[in-house]
Structure 1
Amino acid sequence: MNMVAIVTGASAGIGAATARLLRERGFTVYALARRLDRMAPLAELGIHCVRVDITDDAALVALVDRVVAETGRVDVLVNNAGYGSFGAVEEVPLEEARRQFEVNVFAAARLCQLVLPHLRARGSGRIINVSSVGARMYQPLGGWYHATKYALEGLSDCLRVELAPHGIHVVLVQPGGVATEFPRVAAERLLATSGDGPYAGYARRYAATLTSDADGVSSPAVVGRAIVKAATARRPRIRYAVGRGAKATMFARWLLPDRAFDRVLVALFATLASIAARRGASRT
């Protein structure tokens, strides 16, 4: 019998690439997203595409019940769904901050709760949580987003220890720069929240860096392949840092004291803003 995987946030980017690659490896894949129409290419590959709002508890319960009823098992959960809502901590409405935690943290935790009885019954399985290099570093105007990723990593570390006696592996995947919709969405939210007022100058410069087409951004398939490796390896690593700049960022964060890292971050931000401005000028 084929192994069964559930992948959230599968309408595009990392989620879509992961669903496709898992299917190629022989998995029965259930791909979840709010936009069913955007998953049509996955459906053509024989992937089960399900329209689900992952903040809807009843929908998550029904989804897991359906998977178990149709296949009799769950082997791998890939919590990939998430988004970045950038803006100054002072200016982001708490309702939006809570929404980001609902999507990036609580939905992932709820799916873990729902699949774990089935994984424990089999005495095996994988929970793969897609985090970010943003869980180990930070950026100005990204406080709430980074807070969700820090929280997801803390949750995953605790889960890993709790579930080890049950034969279940918990893995964190930490993408760096990847060609997805994330930068555009983050930049739009940043400008909507902090494009005017005391943080406007900073916000506009930073939004330009998010949307600039810098060279070397990795394909979502790079992250997808790491997820497939985590799903199939006999002894997966605890963390996979993949994508543009991921390993370098992790090393710099480990090496540098906080104040030194702050200075590097400010200098890097200024450089990227200057590059983005020059590119913008060259196009006009």
Structure 2
Amino acid sequence: MTTIDTAAGAPRVAMISGASRGIGAAIAQELLSHGWAVSLGCRRPEEVVLDASLPVIACRYDALDPSTDEAWIDQTLARFGRLDAVVHNAGVMNPLSVLEASDEDFDATFDVNVKAPMRLTRKLWPHLVAGGEGRIVTLASLSAKRVKAERSSLYSMSKFAVLALAHGLRKCGEPHRIRSTAICPGFVATDMGTALTEVAPEQMTQPEDLARIVRTVLELPSSASISEIPVNWTVEDAY
């Protein structure tokens, strides 16, 4: 593959974690179809089928392995020469209550859902600043806004924390015109979503729905700062 020219008119570049399937893959496809260049962060990039005619690469990224942060960033810059946005999509759901969860369960959940996106953002921050108007999108959850079930309370704790991370990044980014937005979906028709409920997949929010929302947020000017967007497949009384 040839390196994309970073002159005026060159594609904007987004890094997407958890991009091999589901929501992450849908976001990647949406961005590619609208002129973005995309760097996919995947635990097994060798299993991802890429279209050689598109500005896309797949890199190894494991939320539990900090050494993959730098390698992914370096590979992205080597291929595209710039970085305009990051989409934090990788996550894990351990169906445990806050009383059932051990310290090890807590660490495993928070390491992936909270610590990993915070650490990755810290490392790539200088590149977002250099770009002039960087964008950060964090796939949180409606579980970041309410606790609906005992068995999802550990997960909710981590998502409340990652929502706070997204808001914290908004504050840090203000002087640099970097905008941070949290997307908070309910059940989505992915492997994870369909395993957690008996709602028919065709009734749920589709990954492509979220992908359109993410692209819209990424492409808005800095004069439109959006802190969070709740999205649900049905009407819920309150969050």
Which TM class, normalised by the smaller chain length? Answer: 0.7 to 0.9
Equivalent residue for 1:179? 189
1:149 aligned residue (159, 176, 187): 159
TM-score scaled by length of structure 2: 0.87
Letter in 1 for 2:167: D
Deviation track 1:179-231 (CA, whole Å, cap 9, x = no partner) reads 0111355x5xxxxxxxxxxxxxxxxxxxxxx2453662121000011001111
Change (3 A) 1:43 1:154: farther
Between the aligned partners of 1:167 and 1:97, the Cα distance in structure 2 is 34
* TM-score, structure 1 as length reference: 0.74
Q: Distance in 2 between matches of 1:180 and 1:213?
A: 11
Answering whether residue 82 of structure 2 is matched by residue 73 of structure 1, we say yes
Which of 111, 120, 141 is 1:102 aligned to?
A: 111
Which residue matches 1:131? Answer: 140
Q: Which 4+ stretches in 1 moved above 6 angstroms?
A: none
Contact kept in structure 2, 1:229 and 1:236, CA below 8 Å: no
CA offsets 1:67-116 (integer angstroms, 9 cap, x no match): 12222211010001102101232222321221111111111001110111
Higher helix share: 1
Q: Where does the alignment leave 5 or more consecutive residues of structure 2 unmatched?
A: 1-9
Deviations 1:134-158 (A, max 9, x none): 1111122112100111001111112
Residue in 1 that maps onto 2:3: none
Matched, 1:252 2:224: no
CA RMSD of aligned residues (A): 2.0
Instruction: Pick closer, same or farther for the CA change 1:171–1:132 going to 2, 3 Å.
Output: same
Deviates more, 1:114-123 or 1:42-51: 42-51
Task: Please list the CA deviations of residues 29-81 of structure 1 after superposition, one character each: whole Å capped at 9, or x if unmatched.
Answer: 00111133552256775521122212211111111122122222110100011
Give the partner amino acid of 2:219.
T
Question: Match for residue 164 of structure 1?
Answer: 174
* SS of match in other structure, 1:152: helix
Answering whether residue 239 of structure 2 is matched by residue 230 of structure 1, we say: no
Tell me the secondary structure at the aligned position of residue 177 of structure 1: coil
The 3 A distance-change label for structure 1 pair 123 and 214 is closer
**Structure 2: which amino acid aligns with 1:224?**
A
Pairs aligned (count): 227
In the aligned structure 1, how far is the partner of 2:71 from the partner of 2:232? 34
Aligned residue number for residue 228 of structure 2: 239
**2:207 is the counterpart of 1:220:** yes
Q: Return the index of the structure with the highest Cα Rg.
A: 1
Q: Is 2:186–2:232's contact at 8 Å kept on the other side of the alignment?
A: yes
| Distance (whole Å) between structure 2 residues aligned to residue 50 and residue 88 of structure 1 | 34
